[in-house]
Amino acid sequence: MEKIQCICRMRDLMKALSELETQLEEAYGVTLNEAMVLCSVGSETVSAGDITACTGMTPSHTSKTIRSVEDKGLLSRKLGEHDKRQMYFLLTRKGKNCLGRIKEKGVNVPEWLASLFSGEETPIE
């Protein structure tokens, strides 16, 4: 593939992701990264490192996104039982409701992105 084609495809990907994020914000009040954090936590209690590993964000970006999700009342933190320096995160009732609505109602995945998911066993929600 020519290098310029790669850049053009990345442009199309970014455009589709932006469209997806706009839908998430309008329908559920969360950004794409915030939704990924909600999905990463789910019904578990996880560390920031777990969220970083699951989302692929940098630790710094994960920290900022966690703070944003906390500020929206969707996530809470608790100290580790054995190591009080360790922080763990879990969804609040509001966070569980938001994630549940996203799973139930989903979003309209832009056509360009939908083609990437063809052949998946689980539906895109």
Q: Point out which residues pair with 78 in neighbouring strands.
A: 88
- Which residues neighbour 95 within 8 Å (Cβ) at sequence distance 6 or greater? 38, 41, 69, 73, 74, 75
Four-residue CA torsion sign, 114, 116, 118, 123: negative
pLDDT value of residue 105: 95
**Segment (H or E) for 89:** strand 87-91
Please tell me the distance from the alpha carbon of residue 49 to that of residue 78, in angstroms, as a whole number: 15
pLDDT in tens, the chain (125 residues): 677 788 888 898 999 999 999 999 999 999 999 999 999 999 999 999 999 999 999 999 999 999 999 999 999 999 988 887 889 999 999 999 999 999 999 998 888 888 777 765 444 34
